[in-house]
Amino acid sequence: MTALDTRTHTDDTTALRFPEGFRWGTATAAYQIEGAATEDGRTPSIWDTFSRTPGKVRNGDTGDIAADHYHRLDEDIALMRQLGVTDYRFSIAWPRVQPTGRGPAVRKGLDFYRRLVDSLLEAGIRPVATLYHWDLPQELEDAGGWPHRETSYRFAEYAGIMADALGDRVATWTTLNEPWCAAFLGYGNGVHAPGRTSDLAALRAAHHLNLAHGLAARALRGALPGSAEVSLTLNLHAVRARSQAPEDLDAARRIDAVGNRIFLDPVFHGRLPEDLVRDTAAVTDWSFVQDGDLAAAAAPLDSLGINYYSPAVVAAGSSESPSPWAGAEKHVRFEPAPGPRTAMDWPVDADGLHELLVRLRDELPGVPLVITENGAAYDDYADPSGRVKDPERVAYLHAHLAAVHRALADGADVRGYFLWSLLDNFEWAYGYSKRFGIVHVDFATQRRTLKDSARWYADVIARGGLARS
């Protein structure tokens, strides 16, 4: 990596140039795109069970077929090659390679990911593997799931299996994607799989996910070559108080504790936030944290992945129940943020991404940062000519890349940007009603069509930055 050059460039069509070696990627997740839910030994994950439960997912949609990536792998890699991405972030379906979450791997499951990785390398694209993007084997959930300590050790075993299988070809490994969502949406307010609603279960899950990360990082280090990178991806919350009133500032502190520092402090400092422990005293005494757990969670990392979509504005008040904000629901109310909104009804505010990156620059000096997800859902459709025009998405992406560039100029060590998502896909509890992709997918025919945003992103990659408007 070279330092960001903020001088005037000879190519005056490029307004904001990114450093040499900056990684330009796209990202997906296994359950959202693969399909083939019962093929080649794959067993149900918690998302298979959840999505097949009436009333849990919009329109009764499931990931049984999704974008059929399992059978269209070559076509999708050809699209990535056409875009010119340098990196591709994908996740491995745990129940595809280790169906029960225990014991030996299934050869056909491993073979799919071997073929994916080999095809990426042949296309000149760097594979970035995520071990866990929320598809816990159902058998492990039946045994207690993430609130159960044993799941952390099963995850470390799985990490070792994947490192042995792909460690000679995958240079970057992410242990967990957004453990906050897995813990608090899955076990707190139940809007994600497995659909439980318990503050205690959510807090236990968060701790055991931290432990799982640390144990898996050590398992990866033991099997990977020394040049491999080990990372973690967090969806850190850009939290803003509605006002400078003490009660509103305290509301922001509470959300920062249970939304951000519950992961940052154990992983980078080997400790629990003291204010989080106080805030949640009515829920738990944290006795499930055993000696050595926090030291294990603080395994050294080569980078931190950041997923960012929008900021949050909070004030003193109370949240609806059930709430994912354990220990804060009686003290915090979320306020509508100003400005335009995406089809998810999320506010568009690129300044929040800059705020997060500058915060991490100050709080985690020496830790390289990667934007592992950033993007927006809009109501895209193919017009009569077959073109998919999505100017709102282009504007969103331009603003957020400009915010990354500004953070680089302010000294944040940002190494790459992964656009979410390559393909329209199964958007969790929203089913197929929300489209995040830069490639339009007709789910009836599985036809892929590059949206205008895909062509725009290809131009950004080719020029190494943002064109002058």
Spatial distance between the Cα atoms of 216 and 179, rounded to a whole number of angstroms: 14
Q: How far apart are CA 298 and CA 278, in angstroms?
A: 22
Question: What does the alpha-carbon distance between residue 28 and residue 425 come to, in Å, rounded to a whole number?
Answer: 9
In the annotation, is 363 catalytic?
Answer: no
Q: What percentage of the chain's residues is helix, strand, coil (to nearest 5)?
A: 40, 15, 45
The H or E element spanning position 265 is helix 262-269
Which residue, 402, 405, 397, is CA-closest to 458? 397
Give long-range contacts, CB 8 A cutoff, 24+ apart: 120-125: 120/77, 120/80, 120/88, 121/169, 123/77, 123/78, 123/80, 123/81, 124/81, 125/77, 125/80, 125/81, 125/85, 125/86, 125/87, 125/88
- Helices 150-166, 107-122: axis angle to 10 degrees equals 50
Active-site position among 229, 329, 373, 392: 373
CA 360 to chain centre: 17
Residue 282, Cβ neighbours under 10 Å: how many?
A: 10
Q: End-to-end CA distance of the chain, in Å?
A: 27
DSSP strands (E only) in 78-192: 87-91, 126-132, 172-177
User: Under a CB-based contact definition with an 8 Å cutoff, are residues 357 and 414 in contact?
Assistant: yes
From the list 178, 329, 355, 427, the catalytic residue is 178
**What is d(CA 102, CA 210) in angstroms, rounded to the nearest whole number?**
20
Could you tell me which residues come within 8 angstroms of residue 394 by beta carbon, excluding any fewer than 6 positions away? 452, 453, 456
Return the ∠ at Cα 325 (arms to 321 and 330), rounded to 5°.
60
Angle at 88 between CA 207 and CA 433, to 5 degrees: 75
Residue 373 known to be catalytic: yes
Peptide bond connecting 266 to the previous residue in cis, omega within 30 degrees of 0: no
What DSSP character marks residue 240?
A: E
Q: Report the C-alpha gap between 29 and 283 in whole angstroms.
A: 33
What's the angle, vertex CA 322, arms to CA 318 and CA 326, rounded to 5?
A: 70
d(CA 123, CA 135): 28
Query: Which residue type sits at 125?
Result: I
**Active-site residue list:** 178, 373
